[in-house]
Amino acid sequence: MLKILPQAALLLLALMSPVVAAPLVAVDVGHGLIDGGAISARGRNEFAFNRQFAAVLATALEQRRIAVRRINFAGTIGSLRERPQQAAGSDFFLSVHHDSVSTDWLQFWDWDGSEASYTEVKRGFGLFVSAQNPDLATSLRCASAIGAVLRRNGFTPSPWHGRKHLPADGENGVWYYDNLVVLYRTTLPAVLFEAGVIKQRDEELELLDPERQARMADAVATGIAACLFVTGKSARD
């Protein structure tokens, strides 16, 4: 009978198992210090929301042993094309955004002594993929996984995107948005995430809540992990 100490047995097992590199995910903060993106119902710019959520998400991914490449966390990136360029070499690209609504759907209120715009017609998250992305299958699989886990955790996708976009997986909040530079000027599977509508007054407050940010980041990270740990390829490929 072969007798091995428990630690030695574990080491032997570790040596025998195939080496699987941890996935590397590029997390991109949408917009920047100069182009701040949309403005919330209470006058805060989208970049501030994006940066805050992206930081929470990066931590949630790292807690799952997924390595993170942080893109534009300082808000000083030069161009849209530079974002996927900086992501080159990673396994997946996620661009973090917060949503607004077209001017036709704005109403006005007095906020903090000045007039600000808001909407009541649109709320919820959205996930976008480009049919021009070179790895549409993985992009779609990851977007659907993220949307499904978000829904499972009580988050609701916005049906509003159906007005302009074709559904890729409408039930899970995934839509086609083919001409987005960050989604197709890349060799990587890529998804753009709109965490919610900052022009919607209730949703804005929810999006600012650190506890909810952590729950949402956890759901997104779970979806990404589920998607990337299934390669879709057999070992013999």
Q: Which residues bind Zn ion (CB under 5 A)?
A: 30, 37, 97
- The Cα–Cα gap between 203 and 98 comes to 11
Q: Shortest Cβ distance from residue 96 to Zn ion (Å)?
A: 9
Question: What gap in Å lies between CA 227 and CA 23, rounded to an integer?
Answer: 11
What is the rounded CA–CA span in Å between residue 31 and residue 75? 7
Q: Which is nearer to Zn ion, 30 or 84 (CB)?
A: 30
Least separation in angstroms between CB 180 and Zn ion: 10
Alpha-carbon distance of 110 to 42, in angstroms, equals 9
Pick the closer one to Zn ion by CB: 141 or 161: 161
For the CB of residue 47, give the shortest distance to Zn ion in the complex, in Å: 8
What separation in angstroms does the CA of 210 have from each of 49, 200, 215, 219? 11, 18, 9, 14
Indicate the residue whose CB is closest to Zn ion: 97
Q: How far is the CB of 222 from Zn ion (least distance, A)?
A: 23
Least CB distance to Zn ion at residue 99 (A): 7
* Smallest separation (angstroms) from Zn ion to the CB of 15: 47
Q: Check: CB of residue 25 under 8 Å from CB of residue 94.
A: yes
Q: What is the helix (H) or strand (E) element at residue 50, kind and residue range?
A: helix 46-63
Q: Which is nearer to Zn ion, 37 or 147 (CB)?
A: 37
How far is residue 138 CA from its own chain's centroid? Answer: 14
Nearer to Zn ion, 125 or 225 (CB): 125
Q: Is 110 exposed, middle or buried (0-12, 13-18, 19+ CB in 10 A)?
A: exposed
β partners of residue 174: 127, 169
The least CB distance from residue 78 to Zn ion, in Å, is 17
- Comparing CA positions, the residue from 54, 53, 47, 11 lying closest to residue 31 is 47
Q: Where do the DSSP E strands lie in 41-113?
A: 67-71, 92-99, 107-111
Question: How far is it, in rounded angstroms, from Cα 137 to Cα 90?
Answer: 17
Q: Which is nearer to Zn ion, 72 or 133 (CB)?
A: 72
Query: Between 118 and 193, whose beta carbon lies closer to Zn ion?
Result: 193
Task: For Zn ion, give the closer residue by CB, 97 or 123.
Answer: 97
